[in-house]
Chain A
Amino acid sequence: MDILKKVPVREQEPKIRATNFDEVCIGYNIEEAKEEASRCLKCKNAKCREGCPVSIDIPGFIKEVEAGNIEKASNIISLYSALPAVCGRVCPQESQCEEKCIRGIKGEAVSIGKLERFVADWAREHGIKPEMPIYKNGKKIAVIGSGPAGLTCAGELARMGYDVTVFEALHKAGGVLVYGIPEFRLPKNSVVKTEIDNIKALGVKIETNVIIGKSVTIDELIEVEGFEAVFIGSGAGLPKFMGIPGENANGVFSANEYLTRNNLMKAFDESYDTPIYKGKKVAVVGGGNVAMDAARTALRLGAQVYIIYRRSEEELPARVEEVHHAQEEGIIFKLLTNPTEILVDDKGWVRGIKCIEMELGEPDQSGRRKPVEKQNSEFEIELDVVIMSLGTSPNPLISSTTQSLDVNRWKCIITDEITGMTSKEGVFAGGDAVTGAATVILAMGAGKTAAKGIDKYLKMKEN
């Protein structure tokens, strides 16, 4: 064993996995996990914890893994996170916990994410469930949205004894975890559903098919239905388009639509009713995690897939692991390229895309070198599907129907950083609805902060 290197994790072969929706990463078995755990120095002043937005006791749980006490390890993690099997899979560990890991100074960081995932999977397979809190204070709290922010906030409040109801607009709970992130990265039935069931086991009620702002407003929840506080975790679901010619042609989709059809509605499975226009040659415009997910989904549905991104590989906002997996699977990267027009046939369907080559100029406000068009470098690619993955912003449905709820100019809800309270008393918010599109663990962190804020607020009000 090379102490400087991570214990490699088993994955499906690229050629094989490109044709199925099973999980790419197989994960550690107990021997591998123990071996990897032994690389951890169990630091007194554990830097890794500073990198984790919910400060999981990383050396604590890893010590138990090394000793083979996986149930103990699971109990430690569950003090901090309600969705460890999810985070172990989708957290950008390389820029969070693992980035700070002392082991990483010389050699590779400890595989914290893969260990966390191992523990959570083991706990699930061995039927370990969190205990229902005995103490109940009878106070009703409404949580809007069942993504990571809402679920975490609900779970935390339930543990404190609150009577929590989560309202979800879609027919299934989970937010981006069920409609956005694909099965091959995050299995829905085994992983996501179990973690949600665990939160329900704490006594949290989930009411689906309720669109806050339409079915009922926040003001009504408080005034008519008797909720004493509200947490908004409604995410940032509104897709952007480029505004180039041809964008409304048949065969142009937002990444959200393409992914929702496939993940939430299970279009890849013939026995489900929802159709998807898969495409034979597909281009995904954008370079984030969402773009990688859309591209790898199209590939699995049988298409030849391009990623079109206007900056260079270095600037790709997606996680390194995802880019690497996409390349291995045969996705073609057209970098320093920007679409200028979607070409449409005489029946209104996509037939190709016109692009222009870019080069990197001076750094812009974000510090990244700004891409500029190269003169006379236009070219065309023949295609039948274009997927736009240009980012998302918060849906104004809630802010526009709630009195005195302040938002900024990107429609993000404004909150107090310490308590999570919005401009409206008793109403809290967190996750993508506040920050704009970010990460699962940041949303969870915000849900936790707001749960504390709500508890403090209600206790203060009592006195």
Chain B
Amino acid sequence: MYKIVKKVSLASNIYLMEIEASRVAKSCQPGQFIIVKMDEKGERIPLTICDYQREAGIVTIVFQTLGSSTKRLAEYKEGEYISDFSGPLGCPSELVKESFEELRKKNVLFVAGGVGTAPVYPQLKLLKERGIEADCIIGARNKDLIIFEEEMKKVSKNVYVTTDDGTYGLKGNVNDCIKDLVQNHGKHYDLVIAIGPIVMMKYVSILTKELGIRTIVSMNPVMVDGTGMCGACRLTVGNDVKFACVDGPEFDGHMVDFDESIIRQQMYKTAEGRALLKEQEGTAHKSKNCGCSDK
């Protein structure tokens, strides 16, 4: 059993939980994820690790309520227990593996969309701890859905906020902001790390390919075990089929077959989950044949 030591509501439908899980806290790295299972009848839900306190044995997760499982998780209160919390799973972020010298030479831009802002945080924090500051764009549909802004400001060089409806920060989507920074403000980036809704990551990757900036995305396909045993999480990267849970979840955004992944993500998503995601993605959601309105 794993104790929920803290629960905070960050925005409408977005929750933060701190969970007591000493083995995970001891070994996890930015970029990795965990799987929670609430009780006997619950699903195995993959969630990215958003922060960790090694000494205290605590891991932070941030999740959005989409369908029945995430809604059920949101009903858990501080002090209560969940039955399973396994991890860390997946490979650490590329940044963890790179040498300090290499990293310092790079201008990195993080692009965070919606609930994806939370998993960007530990990566920025890691860089900051090594004395490196990077820029960060946070995009959301409206002001109410912007999370982690204060935390991000503490660990980034510049934080740019965009909202689709212009209720806060720049009006537009994250791509408008990237273009603006590169084309009008003379910014130069060597690496973009984009984490957010899959449709956002797709369009960011299309743009950065045009701009010639290497791009890493964090994929979130349907998963079951998270250990390489079921193949539910497979996706096409270049000419290869990869299992996101063991080979990823981070991949080269210019190599990922996003359209296939978008279709595959629909496999088990409930109608309510799809509707919410579509709303979340706002203007980033341009895809005509992602299948979100049928099946």
Contacts and interface: CB of A to CB of B under 8 A. Distances in A.
Residue of A243, A247, A348 with highest tally of chain B CB at under 10 A: A348
Contacts of A38: none
A271 interface: yes
Contacts of A254: 230-232
Interface of B: 23-24, 26-27, 32, 37, 41-44, 68-69, 72, 83-89, 224-225, 227-232, 234-236, 241, 246, 260, 263-264, 266-268, 289, 291, 294-295
Contacts of A169: 86, 225, 227
Nearest to B84: A171
B229 A397 contact: no
Nearest to A167: B23
Contacts of B225: 169-170, 179, 260
B266 A397 contact: no
Given A248-B241, A397-B228, A211 B86 contact: yes
Interface residues of A, number: 39
B27 A257 contact: no
Contacts of A250: 263-264, 266-267
Contacts, number: 117
Given A214-B27, A214-B32, 10 more contacts: A211-B227, A248-B236, A253-B231, A253-B232, A257-B224, A265-B44, A274-B44, A348-B264, A397-B227, A397-B228
B44 A171 contact: yes
Contacts of B234: 241, 248
Contacts of B88: 211, 214-215
Contacts of B26: 216
B84 A256 contact: no
Contact of A347 (B37, B83, B84, B295): B295
Interface of A: 169-171, 179, 208-211, 214-216, 237-239, 241, 243, 247-250, 253-254, 256-257, 260-261, 265-266, 271-275, 277, 347-349, 395, 397
Residue of B41, B83, B236 with highest tally of chain A CB at under 10 A: B41
Given A209-B84, A237-B227, A257-B232, A214 B89 contact: yes
B87 A256 contact: no
Contacts of B27: 214-216
Contacts of A210: 23, 86
Contacts of A266: 41
A10 B182 CA distance: 75
Given A169-B86, A171-B44, A248-B236, A349 B228 contact: no
B43 A256 contact: no
B84 A275 contact: no
24 contacts: A170-B227, A171-B86, A208-B86, A211-B86, A211-B227, A216-B26, A237-B227, A248-B234, A248-B235, A248-B236, A248-B260, A249-B263, A250-B266, A250-B267, A257-B230, A257-B231, A257-B232, A265-B44, A272-B41, A277-B267, A347-B291, A347-B295, A395-B227, A395-B228
A253 B89 CA distance: 22
A412 to B, nearest CB: 16
Contacts of A275: 268
Contacts of B263: 249-250, 347-348
A249 B236 CA distance: 11
A271 B89 contact: no
A224 to B, nearest CB: 10
Contacts of A208: 84, 86
Contacts of B231: 239, 241, 253-254, 256-257
Nearest to B235: A248
B69 A273 contact: yes
Contacts of B23: 210, 215-216
A214 B87 contact: yes
Contacts of B266: 250, 348
Given A210-B86, A239-B231, A215 B24 contact: yes
B46 to A, nearest CB: 13
B224 A265 contact: yes
